[in-house]
Amino acid sequence: MTLFDIINSLSTEDYEKFKSYLRHKNKRSDTKNIALLKLLRQSHLPTNIDNTLYGKASKNAYHALCKRLHDNVIDFIASNSLASETTEEFDVLKRILTARILYEQEVYSAAQKTLQKAVTIAKTHDLYSMLGEIYHTQIQYAHIHPEINLPELIQEFHTNQKRHQHQENLNLAYAYIKDRISKTNNTVTEDVNQLLTDAFQKFNINIDESLTFKSLYQLLEIINTVARLENNYYDALPFFERVYTEITVKKTMTNKHLYYHIHLLYFMANAYFRNRQFEQATAYLDVMKERMQEERGSYEFRFRESELLLRTLLLNYTGKATEAIGLLETHIEKITRKNKTQNPDLILVLCICLTQQEQHKQALSVLNKLKHSVNWYVTKMGEDWMIKHDLLQLITHIELENSDLVESLLKRFKRTYKHVIRHENRLQDFLKTVEIIYKYPEEVKGVRFRESVKNLFTTENKAKEDIFMLSYFAWILSKTMHKPLYETTLELL
């Protein structure tokens, strides 16, 4: 149901704002839109929702109510977005439209000044499509302004066209890669290097000094997507490094680049972390935190949870788990007190840290803070995130000896992710081993089982193993070796 999906996409804060928005609009006290909103916010809808709302079957009234609520939520999202965002594009668009009206009214000087201001804003924020519209208007009315050098203006127009085309090529490459991946159920079944190289060649993308900060950011976003879906940051790392090299040779970095530079630093820190090169990751993260303080900390709020996520992961995987857990618990408690939406990534990382410290009851308590539906998390966080969540949940209930629940969780996992399991041999091996551990715990003590596990989860190229998958393998190894999980994890890295 589209309306159900839209309502459940709202954050807790926006949901409360939308309720207030409806109350303000309602002219009658018997309007059912807020009652319907509350029902739609539940994880499961009543079978006869019209009966629930009206006390009797009333399909026509219910469908009319849905239509009105749908229109209201679309209006709310649009107006809320315009009110909360720094919409440079919207500002430029207003100036272009104003200038065109002024030209039609023959107020030429004001029209020209309005367009010049639009040019400044558009260039500052690399708004190439908007610049195209501005140049089109300027060229159209150039004959009115003899002081304008038309050949120079036309040259600027052509230069902007090339930049706009390059930006579009990046968007096309991103769509091409996502399409290739989606055809294999979001698993990359081909070489990461080949996939990226094919996409860049197909759309004529060169990693060189001509790229803007925004283009470099888009490139790293593409590379990060492939690496994340494949769980292969090892083969993708050279691409990350090539892109970032182009950033270091840039002569200047103005304030307009700050947002992209912070995001680029996050991508680099994350890539090195996933490759278990913790010193390099920490160095990039420290620079990222410094950049977040610039411009009076204008981007601090936007990136602080991303920085905290990587910071705590680095602490945890370098033997400082207590410090990592303390930082996460303090942040989550603060967010809870303010009744704000929790970051699912931070919740999951805290669960990982607690599980590695074998604090399984605490881990389950934190895991239970994730209250949205499976579909909501798959849509918002991705299937890979949901797989990590479900595996962690499975491990937690095995440790707490909730046998009946483990059985149902394992069956559900196999059913839900059969399309992924089919392509992932390591995941198949992991699930088979987990089943033996909880069904036949006496076998875990045997030398034969220990050797078979060692053979299954030992690879020739350990450097390519994803750090999170190694964490799950460490849990199995700790069971066979009868060693503390955290110690086993750090040794395995």
Gap between the Cα atoms of 74 and 7, Å rounded: 10
Q: Are 76 and 98 contained in the same domain? A: no
383 shares its domain with 452: yes
- Residue 213 near residue 247, CB atoms below 8 Å: yes
Instruction: Name the DSSP letter for residue 445.
Output: G
Residue 152: what pLDDT? 94
Residue-level pLDDT at 195? 80
Evaluate whether residue 185 is within a structural domain: no
Same domain, 275 and 391: no
| pLDDT of amino acid 393 | 94
Question: What is the model's pLDDT at position 322?
Answer: 96
Containing structural domain, residue 417: 369-492
Residues 139, 264, single domain; the answer is no
143: Cβ contacts below 8 Å, ≥ 6 apart: none
Q: Per residue in 243-256, is it b (16+ CB within 10 Å) or e — as a string?
A: bbebbeeeeeeeee
Q: Are residues 289 and 392 in the same domain?
A: no
Do 200 and 290 lie in a common domain? yes
What is the C-alpha to C-alpha distance for residues 163 and 166, in angstroms, rounded to an integer?
5
User: Measured in whole angstroms, how far is the alpha carbon of residue 459 from the centre of its chain?
Assistant: 30
- Residue 194 and residue 143 share a domain: no
Q: Scan for tokens 């303080």, then name that residue.
A: 293
* Long-range contacts formed by 276-285: CB under 8 A, 24+ apart: 276/317, 276/463, 276/467, 276/493, 278/314, 278/317, 278/318, 281/310, 281/314, 282/314, 285/310, 285/311, 285/314
Please report the beta strands in 409-464, taking only residues with DSSP state E, as ranges in sequence order: none
Asked if the structure places residue 488 within a domain, the reply is: yes
Question: Whole-angstrom Cα distance, residue 157 to residue 152?
Answer: 9
Q: Which residue's entry shows tokens 């992961």?
A: 313
Number of domains in the chain: 4
What is the signed CA dihedral for 339, 345, 351, 354, rounded to 10 degrees? Answer: -100
Joined tokens for residue 171: 């968007």
Count CB neighbours of 23 within 10 A: 11
- In this prediction, residue 85 carries a pLDDT of 46
Establish if 329 belongs to a structural domain: no
How many H helices and E strands in the chain? 26, 0
Residue 230 resides in a domain: yes
Position of tokens 């390099």?
Answer: 280
Same domain, 243 and 307: yes
Q: Tell me, yes or no, whether 58 and 73 share the same domain.
A: yes
Residue 459 confidence (pLDDT) = 65
Q: What is the DSSP string of 130-145?
A: HHHHHHHHHHHTGGG-
Look at residue 116 in the predicted model and tell me its pLDDT.
Answer: 93
Helix (H) or strand (E) holding 233: helix 233-248
Burial class (CB in 10 A: 0-12, 13-18, 19+), 34: middle
Give the CATH number, domain containing residue 206. Answer: 1.25.40
Query: Are residues 93 and 80 part of one domain?
Result: no
In terms of domains, do 167 and 314 share one?
yes
Query: What's residue 174's pLDDT?
Result: 82
User: For tokens 């500002």, what's the residue?
Assistant: 91
Here the tokens at position 183 are 């055809």
Give me the pLDDT at residue 250, please: 65
Which secondary-structure segment (H or E) carries 281? Answer: helix 278-297
Q: Are 205 and 169 in contact (CB under 8 A)?
A: yes
217/308 same-domain check: yes
Tell me the Ramachandran region of residue 45: left when phi exceeds 0, alpha when psi lies from -120 to 50, beta otherwise: beta
In a domain, 52, yes or no: yes
- Give the C-alpha separation, 103 to 199, whole Å: 44
Show the low-confidence residues of the chain (pLDDT under 50): 84-86, 188
Going through 338-383 in order, the beta strands assigned E by DSSP cover none
Record the pTM: 0.73
Cβ partners under 8 Å of residue 390, min gap 6 = 409, 412, 413, 416, 417
